[in-house]
Structure 1
Amino acid sequence: MAPYISSFVESKTRKGIKGEDIKWILYELDRHLAEKGHQACYIDRISYDSWYHATCGNKQVSTVYQKVSVMRRFLIYMGNMGLECYVPRLPRKHKSEYVPYIFTENEIKGLFAAADNLRVKEHHANSLMMVVPVLLRTLYSTAIRIGEAINLRNKDIDFEKHVIVLDNTKNGRQRLAPLNESLEKVLRQYIRYRNMLPVEGVMAPESHLFVNGLGHKLSKRGIGRYFRKLLQEANIPYKGHEEGPSLHNLRHTACVHSLVRMHRQGRDIYCCLPILSTFMGHVKVMDTEHYLRLTQNMYPEIIQMDASVTAGLGNLIAKSLLKVDDHGNI
């Protein structure tokens, strides 16, 4: 099976598709078949069912859909190579019921203030105190993902053109994140102090932009721990891993706040959504609508927009207003 798995992954990579998830799912398949002593150069119904029950049992619906989708594409690929395989039907696509947490403008100010006032009782060389304030402001100002932020290199910041160049994006496409005047000031200040670290190569173009006190790349887990401390300091309740608020909610919030600001400035909403979609790095405007989970109490002016524009957001707005009790009743 190895030649077919390798050629399938390579074919996806050549098309610009990130193959990490595909690699892991097919690695899981390869390991399962090896454990079962599978010798054939094809996969029949029995082999597929064995893999499915071993790797998809007790998994989230979205995870199962992803695994089966990759397997289905791989089995079709093998069929096109002349190896007749069993091709399963796709399960019903999972429709997420997740409603992201949208920070209020006062809560954002509270988070920034808490980050600026970070203190530790003991000095640790790998402390994140220097980087947390600028990282939060970057996430909120540019709406980039936390993974994109921690992968930024020094060369990706272009102060002359006032942009951040993002190469390692979720959809595999390069995009530019705009730098406003206030964020530029914060980044320049951070870089000036960061360059004082006694770390060789910290200023090199290929070195990471955001680093800890040892000059090492940041980790999502480490930033997440600091973020939960900031929530506590800002008196924002943390509801748990699944409910947040999370770092990624800064991206949701940036999207909502940007639309609100454009509306308050009297911008044409017909023009705002495509602009916002480009700002978020989305391929389709519909992808941006997913982020616009609004509450009437927070932003009543959005509800008053032209109905023809907000028709696509109606379901999202209505869903965010629903309350479910402990027994699942609405």
Structure 2
Amino acid sequence: MELPPGWSALLEDYVAHLDAERGLSPHTVRAYRGDLVELARHCGVGPAEVTLPALRSWLSAMTDAGAASSTVQRRVACVRGFFGWARREGLVAEDPAARLTAPRRRRHLPRVPSRADVDLSLASVSARLSEGDNPLVHRDLALVEVLYSSGLRVSEACSLRLRDVDRERRALTVLGKGGKERTVPLGVPALRALDAWLHRRPEVAGPRSPETVFLGARGGAMDPRVARRVVHAATAGAGRGAETGPHGLRHAMATHLIDGGADLRSVQEMLGHSSVATTQIYTHVTSERLRQAFRQAHPRA
């Protein structure tokens, strides 16, 4: 289905702006482009003819269709960014999104695997080491250990390079969202598992293998989808209702750090959050646990 006149060229220019000037990830750029294509088809007019009521109608339609508040918020951010850019570039006379508001986002408290759950998951992967001589089992254990130890996003773990591992300092150099680089600590068990995998890595690597730490079965860079499958399989027995997979381990790492007394700013830096407000959800998680313990144990709760 063709877009109304004026959209195609403007979209391509905006996508180039997001990629080159704002440094957004390819996934985010694709999502924003898809949002704007949907908007163009809903409005049926060129960008310069879009009005605030038309934007509100678009948001209302997606809400009626069952879109989550987080999805609606992302799309509001998308159109604000787009029309703000178009107005600054002189491509539209007015910014119809300047007064567009998003619905209040509900605070979702992620249910994370407990320390015992994570220990069991790691033990189950370790047990597979004795079942055969497959170097990929060492990779899987190293991946799970690194994700839990350092709280990396799965995309960050898959793009981790050999030179990013600093054994002396027990740290990793990570390239996060927006091309921002950060240094995160690496625990002793994770370093031990990583060393074991890197010792076996040459058995998987080929002459054209990239310098990434984690490789796929054929020697290429490990695909994030494969990494997710590996972690989901490892954490399948986690506590009932707990979020599993790479993001579950990231949530667990942050929650367990704060439970153990780590300060919020340090956790923010380790996770690569641009705002401490994003990290504060983990204080809500631990507070909820305190309330549950109080209700269960206090005689006058």
TM above 0.5, yes or no, is yes
Partner of 2:273: 282
CA deviation vs aligned residue, 1:43-71 (integer Å, no higher than 9, x gap): 24576467556766432111011112211
Alpha-carbon separation, structure 2, partners of 1:251 and 1:51: 34
Q: Does 1:190 align with 2:197?
A: yes
Partner of 1:247: 246
**Greater relative contact order, per chain length (Cα 8 Å cut-off, separation 6+):** 2
Say if 1:322 and 1:49 are closer, same or farther in 2 by CA, change over 3 A.
farther
Q: Does 1:111 align with 2:115?
A: no
Say if 1:19 and 1:53 are closer, same or farther in 2 by CA, change over 3 A.
farther
Quote the offset at 1:22 in angstroms. Answer: 4.3
Output the amino acid matched with 1:8.
Y
Counterparts in 2 of 1:51-70, with a 5 A limit? 52=59, 57-70=65-78
Partner of 2:141: 133
Counterparts in 2 of 1:264-283, with a 5 A limit? 272-283=263-274
Structure 1 counterpart of 2:151, from 143, 163, 168: 143
- 2:245 is paired with a residue whose SS is coil
Q: What percentage of aligned pairs have identical amino acids?
A: 18
Counterparts in 2 of 1:133-172, with a 5 A limit? 133-167=141-175, 169-172=176-179
Say if 1:105 and 1:25 are closer, same or farther in 2 by CA, change over 3 A.
closer
Quote the offset at 1:138 in angstroms. Answer: 0.4
Alpha-carbon separation, structure 2, partners of 1:68 and 1:285: 22
Alpha-carbon separation, structure 1, partners of 2:22 and 2:162: 24
CA contact (8 A) 2:112 2:248 kept: yes
In proportion to residue count, which structure has more helix?
Answer: 2
CA contact (8 A) 1:154 1:209 kept: yes
Q: TM-score, normalised by structure 2?
A: 0.75
Runs of 5+ consecutive residues of structure 1 not aligned to the other structure: 264-268, 296-313, 324-330
Partner of 1:95: 106
Quote the offset at 1:208 in angstroms. Answer: 2.2
Greater Cα offset, 24-33 or 181-190: 24-33
Partner of 1:304: none
Partner of 2:257: 258
Q: Does 1:77 align with 2:85?
A: yes
Partner of 1:303: none
Provide the aligned length of Structure 1 versus Structure 2. Answer: 285
Quote the offset at 1:195 in angstroms. Answer: 1.1
Alpha-carbon separation, structure 1, partners of 2:223 and 2:154: 10
